[in-house]
Amino acid sequence: MTMKPISIVTGGAGFIGSHMVDLLRDQGHRVRVIDDFTGGHEKNLAHRKDDPDLEVARKSILDVAPDDPLFEGVKWVFHFAGIGDIVPSIQAPAEYMNVNVQGTVRILEAARHAGVEKMVYAASSSGFGLAETPTPEDHVIQPQYPYALSKNLGEQACMHWHKVYGLPVNSIRIFNAYGPRVRTTGAYGAVFGVFLKQKLESKPFTVVGDGSQTRDFIFVTDVARAFLAAADTPLSGESWNIGAGKPESINRLVELLGGPVVYIPKRPGEPDCTWADIRKISRDLNWAPTVSFEDGVKIMLDSIEHWRDAPLWDPESIRDATKEWFEYLS
């Protein structure tokens, strides 16, 4: 009998990580999740609670040892775990560096000692900062805030482990991922989480600036497919952008969601446009997005009850949450 391949998903109870778990299970992999549930949610894996080929280790990536038994016999490692909220990184930069950089190093060391066939790191397009668009992979890196810096340093560590130790690792720089299970933490953050809760409560959408800014929204299942392709390739030491390659305005998002709007001040350090040049990943991995923005937003609305317990934000609470952001980045 052929043994099922084993994959690790760090942050597997989180937004993208849980969709990665679903895809790997659909592909016949046994999956080991490493998650301390500070950002992830048990409900993201609830549909797999009786799955005998899913193992969940409730532990921090900072507690992963080089000889961690969870890595024994593992083929692929997908590293999503870390602190994902952007705005609070201004208030807690040391924590972001510790978790997102040192945590990544611990996963790299465990993967290296286990001799895994491939590790794929979840990098962030935020490292590009106020970039020219469309943004290619070789664009200058210019992080504007600690979260972006921490994710870029994690990516640099991955490439260093590839160069020095020969660890087969690739990195995917995610632009604006969205979809079911997108974060609902207490921190002010992802636009979909904010807007969907506001829609549930019949409150106006808090649109930053005039809403004309555009984001390269990419649906989460398309993201998971890209990570699978980045593992199942002979290429190593590569970084790829992932987005839809078709920016959409916040005003267009509001139009699709439907509801009143209130405008709040534009935040310094944030680009007017994010736009992934996806020619490299399309060429190297034969990957292309499949879910249109309109279809993706409809799927989000169909699962809107997921955000019933999310925090409700209004202009006043957002002003308080972003006070230090304006203080340091203005």
293's enclosing H/E stretch is helix 293-302
170's enclosing H/E stretch is strand 169-174
The answer to whether 147 is a known catalytic residue is: yes
CA atoms of 100 and 89, how far apart (whole Å): 11
Contacts of 32 (CB under 8 A, 6+ apart): 6, 7, 8, 9, 55, 56, 57, 70, 74
| Closest-CA residue to 179 (of 286, 56, 290) | 290
| Closest-CA residue to 226 (of 155, 159, 181, 174) | 174
Pair type for strands 30-34 and 6-10: parallel
Angle between helices 293-302 and 191-200 (to 10 degrees): 50
Residue with tokens 């997102």: 100
Cα-based torsion angle of the residue sequence 95, 111, 237, 289 in order, rounded to the nearest 10 degrees: -80
CA atoms of 319 and 263, how far apart (whole Å): 12
CA atoms of 221 and 255, how far apart (whole Å): 23
Q: How far is CA 292 from CA 16, 183, 304, in A?
A: 18, 21, 18
Q: Classify 118 as helix, strand or coil.
A: strand
Contacts of 93 (CB under 8 A, 6+ apart): 146
Q: Point out the catalytic residue in the list 121, 145, 147, 178.
A: 147
Please identify every residue annotated as catalytic: 147
